[in-house]
Amino acid sequence: MQTHPRIGITLGDPGGIGPEVLLKALVRDTSGEIRVFGSGRVLDYHARLLNLAIPTDRFRQIDIDNVATPYIGAKPEESGKATIEYLEEAFRALRKDEIDCLVTGPIQKEAWHRAGYHYAGQTEFCAAQAGVKDYCMLMAGAHFRIALLSTHLSLTDALQRIRRDTVSERIRLIDREFRKLGFPHPRIACAALNPHAGESGAFGSEEQKEIEPAVRELRESGILVDGPIAPEVVFRVAASQDKWDVILALFHDQAMIPLKLLDFETSANVTLGLPFIRTSPDHGTAFDIAGKGIANPGSMIYAIDLATDWTRKRWEAGS
């Protein structure tokens, strides 16, 4: 019986900190086979520039030689195409059952758009490649697991997503996916939108009209969900008590501010709803520090360990 997941890792943007944090993460002893999808030329360049070892005994390089001259910094027209090709090759390996889970290095969304690829991000790319329509972003860290109702939208557009049906569908997805991870009855908290959860309509009506009816219906169906809970309460309690397994945040910054305050170097992005575990570091390309050797690999390490752990949990749960 297989006990060690085979991990695929994409290199990320060739000019960002992805190659650096990957090399620093791979120095550790890890169980299971690791395949790195990306340019060997780029990896060698970053290793020489930063005087980092390439632990060739720890991984297998799937060389995608699509960067003729390695560089540091942003080159959107070049990096957009390159990072898409890394992901496409990783998905070919997934379809051929050569890897069990995927860790994606940081990319620049502008580069994808300027190269003609119109995915909002790697979450949406992975869902499209897997043929999945019911999915969401989850940020998992040492203090929090936070699923998002919406991600990269303007606040005006994000507020339009807060509807009874969308809240209900997202919580059902969270419940289903956490059961696959071995949580028999996931404990879910739903954050409120307005100050003090609306104060019975004094500060907004979304709680009364949209969120409370969804939560009530879900509880009646047997899902363990609390809410809507004022954000300053739900995140304070979750940071100090084992009260919930996961929180649903209603828009991007509601989730990211508490997570990056407490878990910035010990958290990862997860795509819920895929037929495999996909994680990513919780940071971007960080062009401002690329090539300086000062990037912290903590989030990449966390993403690799989380992909390994949650893949095992899914196996143990039979999912």
Q: Which pTM was predicted? A: 0.94
Mean pLDDT across 34-60: 95
Least Cα distance to 5 among 300, 280, 266, 315 occurs for 315
CA–CA distances in Å: residue 287 to residues 77, 160, 204, 237, 306: 15, 33, 40, 35, 25
Q: Over pLDDT 70: what percentage of the chain?
A: 99
Q: Are 306 and 140 in contact (CB under 8 A)?
A: yes
Residues 45, 313: Cα–Cα separation, whole Å: 37
Least Cα distance to 36 among 49, 25, 50, 48 occurs for 25
What is the structure's pLDDT at 73?
Answer: 96
* Tally of CB atoms within 10 A around 309: 15
Instruction: List, in sequence order, every residue forming a beta bridge with 148; answer none if it has no partner.
Output: 249
Residue carrying structure tokens 């809410």: 227
Q: Three-state DSSP class for 252?
A: helix
* Tally of CB atoms within 10 A around 305: 18
Q: Over pLDDT 90: what percentage of the chain?
A: 87
Residues 229, 212: Cα–Cα separation, whole Å: 10
Q: Are 17 and 297 in contact (CB under 8 A)?
A: no
Phi and psi dihedrals of 180, rounded to 5?
Answer: -65, -20
Lowest pLDDT segment from 39-48, 97-106, 151-160, 217-226: 151-160
What domains can be seen in the chain, in order of their start residue? 1-135+265-319 (3.40.718.10), 143-262 (3.40.718.10)
Mean pLDDT across 230-255: 96
- Is residue 184 pLDDT above 90, yes or no? yes
Confidence of residue 1 (pLDDT cuts 50, 70, 90): low
Give the largest CA-CA distance in the chain. Answer: 62
Average pLDDT over the chain reads 95
